[in-house]
Structure 1
Amino acid sequence: MKRFAVVIGTAVLGLTALTACGDDAPAGGTSTTQSTAGQSAEAKLATAKSDKFGDIVVDGAGKTLYVFDKDTANPSKSNCDGECEAKWPVLKAGSAAPQVEGIDASLVGTVTRTDGSKQVTLAGLPLYYFANDAKAGDVNGQAVGGIWWVVGPDGKKITAEKAPGTGETSSYSY
């Protein structure tokens, strides 16, 4: 009976340790959540209205997606690995073509990363999350370092805020 209790206790501790490893906390200690859409069989891209930026691209759970100035679109290439990828998790491509809603499907593709995994692209540019965006609608990654940008449904980075109440854009300061 004691042996059975030890085995069960060990299993519970092991599962607890594995569950704890699933928390992607950045160096600052704040827990982050990455959309499971990027890790499921199918990635999903959609559009959402941002008060600051107009129509932006999000994943299936409404989490904001970003593009990186150091990446290339033609040919598609991601230049964010290691520490960069820890702060800017990639939108991983699933086993099927990404689902799209409000985005021209011909603009959506994938790129093979240096580790062999597939990342979703829009107009050739790889798509990322920002680790400090905790919930749908957050745009905390906008203009970080002057090289990270929310992206519009046309695949172009958005570098300017909408002027309040006009729908027009104004200069974005970062």
Structure 2
Amino acid sequence: MRNLRRTALLTVPAAVAGLLLLTACGSDGKPAATATPAASAPAASTPAASAPATDKAATDKAALKGSLAAGNTAKFGAIVLDGLDYTLYRFDKDTANPSASNCNGDCAAKWPPVPVNAQGTIKGIDAKLVGSVTRADGTKQLTLGGWPLYRFAGDKAPGETNGQGVGGTWFIAAPDGKKAAAGTGTGGNGY
């Protein structure tokens, strides 16, 4: 039994080192690009044993904000939600190729950027379409189909879509990164 424990302890660090090496290099052995697709599964993490329960709850909530899920509405069809089921938006003044965010300062207060989170998850969305962009303040923001993603401060509850069409430049994001199409949904999530 003692030898099994020792083997397991040696295997875990070796596996972690292997994953780090694979993450740092692309498939051709060269360093990976800075805008990388997000993983389709949550990253493994071990909370510190001494962390209070409230810190874990805050961490879990932050991880959910960096998550993406496909939803469906009767009014707007297929849409993108964060892990807390808040609607996500894209901004016509941003660019998708190359990805660039043009919402900063007061704009970012009204339209909070969706942060990149290693613990975030992706459900019902092609992980190949998910990436990130570095914002003017140096933080990382999730992108979908190259378009930076945002929440709207005017959405006070999950499933609200109050940001649709604001200023003729803000639109609900569809799971392919394009604008959600009005009137094509089934209302499957009850929004």
8 Å Cα contact 1:57-1:153 kept in structure 2: yes
Residue of structure 2 in register with 1:146 after alignment: 168
Residue of structure 2 in register with 1:129 after alignment: 151
The structure, 1 or 2, with the larger RCO (C-alpha pairs under 8 Å, 6+ apart) is 2
Residues 1:151 and 1:38: Cα distance change in structure 2 (over 3 Å): farther
Query: Which stretches in structure 2 are left out of the alignment for 5+ residues?
Result: 1-58, 187-191
**Which runs of 4 or more aligned residues in structure 1 lie more than 6 Å from their structure 2 counterparts after TM superposition?**
none
Residues 1:104 and 1:88: Cα distance change in structure 2 (over 3 Å): same
Distance, in Å, in 2 between the alignment partners of 1:164 and 1:65 is 16
8 Å Cα contact 1:38-1:93 kept in structure 2: no
Q: TM-score, normalised by structure 1?
A: 0.68
SS of residue paired to 1:120: strand
Report 1:1-174 matches (<5 A). 39-40=62-63, 43-94=66-117, 96=118, 98-158=120-180, 160-162=181-183
8 Å Cα contact 2:76-2:184 kept in structure 1: no
Matched letter for residue 131 of structure 2: G
Residues 1:129 and 1:164: Cα distance change in structure 2 (over 3 Å): closer
Residues 1:127 and 1:37: Cα distance change in structure 2 (over 3 Å): farther
Residues 1:92 and 1:139: Cα distance change in structure 2 (over 3 Å): same
Q: TM-score, normalised by structure 2?
A: 0.62
What is the root-mean-square deviation in Å for CA atoms of aligned residues? 2.4
8 Å Cα contact 1:71-1:77 kept in structure 2: yes
Matched letter for residue 67 of structure 2: K
Matched letter for residue 89 of structure 1: P
Q: 1 or 2, which has the higher helix percentage?
A: 2
Q: 1 or 2, which has the higher strand percentage?
A: 1
Distance, in Å, in 2 between the alignment partners of 1:84 and 1:62 is 22
- The aligned length equals 129
Residue of structure 2 in register with 1:168 after alignment: none
Aligned-pair CA distance for 1:39: 3.5
Distance, in Å, in 2 between the alignment partners of 1:119 and 1:93 is 5
